[in-house]
Chain A
Amino acid sequence: MGIFISSKIDFRSSVQKMIQYNVVYGVKRKTPSFAFAKLFGSEELCLDYDITVLPPNRYLLPPSESLLRFNLIPEVSVRSSAEFQASIILGIHPYDLHAIRLLDAVFTGSLVDLNYQARRSATAIIGVDCLNPWPYSFAASMGTTLPPRIFDLWLTDLGDEYLIEIGSSKGESLLKRYFMTRDASEAQLRQRDKLRQESLTKYQLSLAMSPQEIPEILDKGWNSPMWEELGQKCFACGSCTMVCPTCVCFDVRDKIGLNLREGERYRSWDSCMFDAFDKMASGENFRPTGTDRLRHRLHRKGKYMLERWGELGCVGCGRCVHACLVDIASPVYAYNRLAKEVK
């Protein structure tokens, strides 16, 4: 669809215009980290970040959202109730876009989750290459350093300018409407390839195998002593799943108004690492220990999601590696160690 160039000065004013007419969520500095948040001015945007604390999928699957509203009086009635603003997410990294592709497969497959689908189709995605990964990332090993083609616009930081690739007609109209650009040259395209290539050498963590081998290694390593060794340290705090871009599990609850006449049913993020996740009303708990739950989580990331939705559940962002208080959550550590044990 075309690749263009915009000077950084022009880019800033384009973003400013975009913010004026749209809800734009972008990456902001939140010392010492970075976070996605609503942009009020283009000067807040920070595109040369390494990682955000939370992934951008919270704009598609919010931490808590209404599923339906109901009235109890005078008659019981019920209606679906998600309300939100169409928006642009600006600054998504490739690994997080891979995660969104997986979310698309989960929520818009043979059964369609209306809330997700409505938010997804009302969202434009402008991503940017991750040229300086943080020390916890192993995206290069997971093969998630290039964006899957589900973006609307894609940026690469060439120093004084951004290379902008169009990925969809939605992206094309955004570009026409807000951006001042000229055609990119062959040399600038080669520069992008070179920068992307160079970034691969900056990853400090790596998988000792190809990602396609993870399911088999997990299969063979089911009874490894590693699960107990790591699992018995787990606090069941759920940090690893809260920061994960591919975690989709949720809880559903009802909230009733103070007038006792109306209320809503909402869902909120849940975690398979919480001790009551698999507990039933009868008291039966199918994964009662940290060991059971850690093993389940790492199987889900490295095997089950792939089998069900065709994409690995780990994109190598490394957020869980960093978030875990007792250093047991790392998929790359677990998979590498199992590989050594089972070979």
Chain B
Amino acid sequence: MAVSTESMKSLYLPKLAEVLKVEPLSEKEKLFQLRMKDGSRLSHKPGQFVEVSVLGVGEAPISVSSSPTRDGSFELGIRAVGNVTRALHRLQPGDTLGIRGPFGNGFPVSELLGQDLLFVAGGIGLCPLRSMVQYAIDKRGQFGKITLLYGCRQPAEQLFQGEIAEWRRRQDIEIMESVDRCPLDVSWGGSVGVITTLFPRVDIEPNNTTALVVGPPVMYRYVVAECLKKGIAKDQILLSLERRMKCGMGFCGHCQINNVYVCLDGPVFNYEELSKLKETEV
């Protein structure tokens, strides 16, 4: 007897989405605004990710960069670095791609209500964090003091420059920026040095502050050390981990750290949990 799954609903089946807008963020990153073709909403939580398909090339896990509080579309900030992301960079408005998800736990939004938020973004780490920054801005009254530290290698690599300029103008968010180095012919109003050099100037109330940290793996150890120095409790330091999530559902095995699946149990973990794992970067 022949069996076919053609009419069945598979979790591997992406929904189709239309590219509404493509906007360069820097030399290597672009921002894609997308909308589901069937009119459904993504209904994600800040900090969750989706599996993005360029059919014929492949699928890659990408964090959602926009807040669910914004309209029916959603945004993905993507660096062209592998096969799929390079193919994504060739897409134009009107093109179709596939979306599965949202996957992962996302930031624990309800636990963050009433808290002071210390965002720490390294480079492309601002893409996932932006979903939570926007969320906190849209529901500004529900959160305490908001501080954002943003570090890049050099000024030209700073993402969302227009939006950051708007945030800077707001009185209810403190923004501190750094670059590892600044070419002599570029004007730069922030600090020069790695992101941890911003910490001495950070003024927070540690008992009521949650740190939300996203950046390259190498950044975490140093930023966590600074957060601990500031007196923030281990379980109040949240980090989002990057792994090679192929299925997003705990089957394929690629994102496993010890007995934890980043796609299901993460990508957001608090430092208390991570410090118990032997295989992490922190």
Contact = CB atoms under 8 A, between A and B. Distances in A.
Interface of A: 67-68, 70, 72, 76-86, 106-107, 111-115, 118-119, 122, 222, 248-254, 256, 260, 263, 265, 267, 270, 272, 277-282, 284, 286-287, 292, 296, 299-300, 303-304, 307-308
A67 B58 contact: no
B246 A252 contact: yes
Nearest to B59: A252
Given A277-B254, A278-B254, A76 B243 contact: no
B165 interface: no
B279 A286 contact: yes
Given A85-B2, A248-B253, A281 B85 contact: yes
Nearest to A262: B56
B6 A263 contact: no
A287 B243 CA distance: 12
Contacts of A248: 251, 253
Interface in B1-45: 1-6, 8-14, 16
Contacts of A260: 56
B75 interface: no
B13 A254 contact: no
Given A83-B2, A249-B254, A277-B254, A114 B249 contact: no
Interface in B119-161: none
23 contacts: A67-B10, A70-B55, A76-B16, A80-B9, A83-B2, A83-B3, A84-B2, A111-B249, A112-B11, A122-B1, A248-B251, A250-B252, A250-B253, A251-B252, A252-B252, A254-B56, A263-B55, A263-B56, A265-B53, A281-B60, A286-B279, A287-B279, A300-B256
A86 B1 CA distance: 5
Contact of A114 (B8, B14, B96, B257): B8
Nearest to A283: B81
A81 B9 CA distance: 10
Contact of B243 (A80, A111, A272, A286): A286
Nearest to B61: A280
A278 B278 CA distance: 16
Contacts of A119: 3
Contacts of A280: 242-244
A279 B244 contact: yes
B217 interface: yes
B263 to A, nearest CB: 11
Nearest to A121: B3
Could you say which interface size class chain B belongs to? 35 or more
Contact of A70 (B56, B216, B217, B243): B56
Contacts of A307: 259
Contacts of B1: 85-86, 122
A119 B98 CA distance: 26
B82 interface: yes
A265 B244 contact: no
Given A68-B10, A249-B253, 4 more contacts: A107-B251, A249-B252, A265-B55, A286-B243
Given A67-B12, A80-B12, A113 B251 contact: yes
A111 B261 CA distance: 14
B56 A72 contact: yes
Contact of B259 (A249, A279, A287, A304): A304
A265 B6 CA distance: 14
B190 interface: no
Interface of B: 1-6, 8-14, 16, 53, 55-60, 81-83, 85, 96, 98, 216-217, 242-244, 246-247, 249-254, 256-259, 261, 278-279, 281
Q: What 5 pairs across the A-B complex have the smallest Cβ distances?
A: A281-B82, A249-B253, A80-B10, A304-B259, A114-B10
Interface of A is mostly: mixed
Contacts of B2: 83-86
A115 B6 CA distance: 10
A252 B55 contact: no
Contacts of A122: 1, 3
Given A80-B5, A86-B1, A256 B56 contact: yes
Given A79-B13, A252-B247, A299-B258, A270 B5 contact: no
A82 B7 CA distance: 10
A78 B217 CA distance: 35
Nearest to B241: A286
A270 B253 contact: yes
Contacts of B82: 281
A77 B55 CA distance: 9
B251 A106 contact: yes
B12 A265 contact: yes
Contacts of B258: 299, 304
A84 B4 CA distance: 7
Nearest to B218: A284
B13 A80 contact: yes
B249 A281 contact: no
A282 B216 CA distance: 10
A112 B10 CA distance: 9
Contacts of A256: 56
A82 B243 CA distance: 28
Given A70-B55, A286-B243, A81 B3 contact: no
A86 B2 CA distance: 6
Contacts of B261: 308
Contacts of B60: 281
B259 A79 contact: no
Nearest to B4: A83
Contact of B244 (A112, A278, A292, A304): A278
Contact of B55 (A76, A80, A115): A76
